[in-house]
A and B are shown apart, each in its own frame.
Chain A
């Protein structure tokens, strides 16, 4: 059995070098790899390209790595909740590539599935289509989009086993499964790590083949951006 288990986040990210291309799972602050982000703050690695649907908030998630100036470029669909991000962008200190969310998800999926490009209707007729190949299929226009791959994919799951099989919870799944497949090295942090055989194979979301390193994370904060409740 290949040993995929590492002791903690620091060990998992120790060979991530300057200028690496990373994928980070999560939608908003839901399902983000909190432990790996903390570990990257400690290693101080710089010049990172981060592929992530959002860029965190000022004091949590990827926002923390922006504050320490570790990020060179963001590839995202929506980055609106972050003042430091805005400052760096307007000052020309940060590159940003904004991509329609479904196109972003599919480009990552394609990266993991060995499909170098595909056609989508999203963005046709808009500035997103500029410079891209347009084709007509059955009377509708589509634009060609290329796959995305990464040196490292950092994903967060609810449960995982020592073979790297993962199960996500709720809407914390989001971009994590596609990123797990699209990383040359995929690091999974899980809330609960169990021995092989304890997870029902019928309920695995990400098969262990995609995961190279796994560890049980600790002290999950799981911050909530919009706490909305129904009064009793």
Chain B
């Protein structure tokens, strides 16, 4: 069965390495924070100027001056640091943030990502997405494998306006975990529980590379 949003978040949480600094995008990526194992210590970066994002505050502790990049009220963990937006994107561009997890509308087989604009619809802006995908050394995308109308979102080339090129390293979808190879192509690493290789083939319009037996994801 295809994974739900929480399943995708749980699988991505397994990719997180101890001691890393991470930026989580809005949506499924934000959920990843809930499933990082207790024995792993990471620092979450919020691009509006905070390292060390904590949980949501209790009602009586809500502080309008403390929000995340999704404009949600939050708390700070012990050891947090606050800084300006220029410093924040300096640490992103400078390669100090190890991992960026974000959503996508489309990903191409050479690692291009489109997630900011749909022609004909209201353009809301790219926010920090272009800076993040141009800079982080490791970029993992959380997404649905197919659109609601059943079309593949893992393509040979993106059809929507691009956010960044050749930047996505891994895709975790509701159907599969795939590595984007440097020479191009989606290498199938794992299947969602009960999802067949055939189903993934059918759902992937870009070049899909299948070698040997493809294991099922292990998700608690």
For A183, the chain B residues whose CB sits under 8 A away are none
Give B84's nearest chain A residue, CB to CB: A177
Determine whether the beta carbon of B65 is less than 8 Å from that of A76: no
Report A147 CB to chain B, min CB distance, Å. 12
Q: CB within 8 A of B130: which of A76, A126, A158?
A: A126
* Given A27-B67, A121-B93, also A229-B82 (CB < 8 A): no
Determine whether the beta carbon of B128 is less than 8 Å from that of A100: yes
> B128-169 vs A: 1/0 string, CB under 8 Å?
111100110000000000000000000000000111111000
For B127, the chain A residues whose CB sits under 8 A away are 77-78, 100-101
Determine whether the beta carbon of A170 is less than 8 Å from that of B130: no
For B126, the chain A residues whose CB sits under 8 A away are 77-78, 98, 100-101, 128
**B63 at the A interface (CB under 8 A):** yes
Determine whether the beta carbon of A102 is less than 8 Å from that of B92: yes
* Given A101-B47, A227-B73, also A120-B62 (CB < 8 A): no
* Given A105-B85, A122-B93, also A224-B62 (CB < 8 A): yes
Q: CB within 8 A of A126: which of B46, B88, B125, B163?
A: B163
Report A160 CB to chain B, min CB distance, Å. 15
**A125 at the B interface (CB under 8 A):** yes
- Number of residues in A with C-beta < 8 Å to the partner? 56
Interface size classification for chain B: 35 or more
Determine whether the beta carbon of B65 is less than 8 Å from that of A225: no
* Given A77-B127, A98-B123, A172-B65, also A105-B58 (CB < 8 A): no
Tell me what chain B mostly uses at the interface: helix, strand, loop, or mixed.
loop
Q: CB within 8 A of A229: which of B48, B57, B161?
A: B57
For A205, the chain B residues whose CB sits under 8 A away are 84
Determine whether the beta carbon of A78 is less than 8 Å from that of B86: no
> B4-28 vs A: 1/0 string, CB under 8 Å?
0000000000000000000000000
**A79 at the B interface (CB under 8 A):** yes
Determine whether the beta carbon of A125 is less than 8 Å from that of B92: no
**A3 at the B interface (CB under 8 A):** no
A224 to B85, CA, bound (A): 19
Residues of A209-232 contacting chain B, CB below 8 A: 222-230, 232
**A90 at the B interface (CB under 8 A):** yes
For A165, the chain B residues whose CB sits under 8 A away are none
7 A-B residue contacts at CB 8 Å? A27-B49, A80-B125, A101-B131, A122-B135, A125-B164, A126-B165, A205-B84
Given contacts A30-B48, A79-B125, A176-B84, 11 further A-B contacts (CB under 8 A): A27-B67, A28-B48, A80-B122, A98-B126, A105-B89, A106-B89, A126-B161, A127-B162, A128-B130, A229-B58, A229-B59
